[in-house]
A and B are shown apart, each in its own frame.
Chain A
Amino acid sequence: MSLTLEDVRRVAHLARLNLAETEEAAYVGQLASILDYFERLGAAPTADVPPTVHALALQDVLRDDLSRDGCGPGLALRNAPSADQGFFKVPKVLADGGA
Chain B
Amino acid sequence: MLTVFETAEGVRRGRVPAEDVMRDCLQRIAAAAEIRAFLHVDAERSLAAARRIDEACSRGEALGPLCGVPIAVKDNLCTAFAPTTCGSGMLAGFSSLYDAEVVQRLERAGAIVVGKTNLDEFAMGSSTENSAFGPTRNPWDPERVPGGSSGGSAAAVAARLVPAALGSDTGGSIRQPAALCGVTGLKPGYGRVSRFGLVAFGSSLDQVGPITTDARDAALLMNVLAGPDARDSTSAPDAPPDYAAAIDAPIRGLRIGLPHEYFGEGLSAEVCAAVQGAIDVLRSLGAKTREIALPHTEYAAACYYIVAPAEASSNLARFDGLRYGRRAEGADLIEVYKASRGRGLGAEVKRRIMIGTHALSSGYYDAYYDKASRVRTLIRRDFERAFGEVDVIAGPVTPTTAFRLGEKASDPLAMYLSDVYTIPANLAGICGISVPCGFDALGLPIGLQLMGPVFGEVRLLQAAHQFQLATDHHRRVPPVFPATEAAA
State the A residues within 8 Å of B (CB). 7-8, 11-20, 23, 27, 30-31, 33-35, 37-38, 40-42, 44-46, 49-56, 58, 61, 63, 71, 75-76, 78-82, 88, 90-93
Using an 8 Å CB-CB cutoff, how does the interface string of B368-384 with A read, 1 for contact, 0 for none?
10111111111010000
Q: Is the CB of A49 within 8 A of B377?
A: yes
Chain A CB within 10 Å — which of B233, B341, B368, B374 has the most?
Answer: B374
Task: Give, as a whole number of angstroms, the nearest-CB distance from B240 to chain A.
Answer: 15
Task: Give, as a whole number of angstroms, the nearest-CB distance from A9 to chain B.
Answer: 11
Answer whether A17 and B332 are a contact pair too, CB < 8 Å, given A27-B351, A52-B373.
no
Q: Is the CB of B97 within 8 A of A78?
A: yes
Q: Is the CB of B305 within 8 A of A34?
A: yes
Residues of B within 8 A of A71 (CB): 97-98
Given contacts A35-B358, A53-B204, 9 further A-B contacts (CB under 8 A): A17-B338, A18-B342, A27-B351, A37-B302, A41-B299, A41-B303, A41-B306, A44-B375, A76-B97
Chain B contact residue count (CB 8 A cutoff)? 72
Residues of A within 8 A of B326 (CB): 81
Task: Give, as a whole number of angstroms, the nearest-CB distance from B354 to chain A.
Answer: 5
Task: Give, as a whole number of angstroms, the nearest-CB distance from A98 to chain B.
Answer: 15
- B276: interface (CB < 8 Å): no
> In this complex, what residue of A is CB-closest to B372?
A41
Residues of A within 8 A of B337 (CB): 16
Answer whether A56 and B236 are a contact pair too, CB < 8 Å, given A16-B320, A17-B345.
yes
Answer whether A17 and B341 are a contact pair too, CB < 8 Å, given A23-B347, A78-B95.
yes
- B191: interface (CB < 8 Å): yes
Bound state CA distance, A82 and B330, in angstroms?
14
A-B contact pairs, 23 of them (CB 8 A): A11-B354, A11-B361, A16-B317, A17-B345, A31-B358, A38-B306, A40-B298, A40-B299, A40-B302, A41-B371, A41-B372, A46-B378, A49-B374, A49-B378, A50-B374, A51-B370, A56-B191, A75-B97, A79-B93, A81-B326, A81-B327, A91-B330, A91-B332
Residues of A within 8 A of B342 (CB): 17-20
> In this complex, what residue of B is CB-closest to A88?
B323
- B486: interface (CB < 8 Å): no
Would you call the interface of chain A mostly helix, strand, loop, or mixed? loop
Residues of A within 8 A of B427 (CB): 52, 55
With beta carbons under 8 angstroms apart, the residue of A78, A82, A92 that contacts B327 is A82
- B339: interface (CB < 8 Å): yes
Answer whether A55 and B371 are a contact pair too, CB < 8 Å, given A17-B341, A18-B343.
no
Task: Give, as a whole number of angstroms, the nearest-CB distance from A82 to chain B.
Answer: 7
Residues of B within 8 A of A79 (CB): 93-95, 323-325
- B234: interface (CB < 8 Å): yes
Using an 8 Å CB-CB cutoff, how does the interface string of B278-306 with A read, 1 for contact, 0 for none?
00000000000000000010110111011
Answer whether A14 and B357 are a contact pair too, CB < 8 Å, given A31-B351, A55-B204.
yes
Residues of A within 8 A of B324 (CB): 79-81
- B350: interface (CB < 8 Å): yes
- B50: interface (CB < 8 Å): no
Answer whether A15 and B234 are a contact pair too, CB < 8 Å, given A34-B412, A81-B325.
no
Q: Is the CB of A41 within 8 A of B323?
A: no
> In this complex, what residue of B is CB-closest to A36?
B413
Q: Is the CB of B429 within 8 A of A56?
A: yes
Bound state CA distance, A93 and B335, in angstroms?
11
Answer whether A38 and B302 are a contact pair too, CB < 8 Å, given A16-B341, A49-B378, A81-B324.
yes
Interface positions of B from 164 to 189, Cβ below 8 Å from A = none
Bound state CA distance, A78 and B78, in angstroms?
15
Answer whether A12 and B354 are a contact pair too, CB < 8 Å, given A17-B338, A91-B332.
yes
Bound state CA distance, A75 and B347, in angstroms?
32
- B488: interface (CB < 8 Å): no
Q: Is the CB of B350 within 8 A of A23?
A: yes
> In this complex, what residue of A is CB-closest to B361?
A14
Residues of A within 8 A of B271 (CB): none
- B333: interface (CB < 8 Å): yes
Using an 8 Å CB-CB cutoff, how does the interface string of B397-436 with A read, 1 for contact, 0 for none?
0000000000000001100100000000011110000000
Bound state CA distance, A63 and B233, in angstroms?
9
With beta carbons under 8 angstroms apart, the residue of B299, B333, B350, B413 that contacts A19 is B350
- B454: interface (CB < 8 Å): yes
Bound state CA distance, A32 and B102, in angstroms?
39
Residues of A within 8 A of B303 (CB): 41
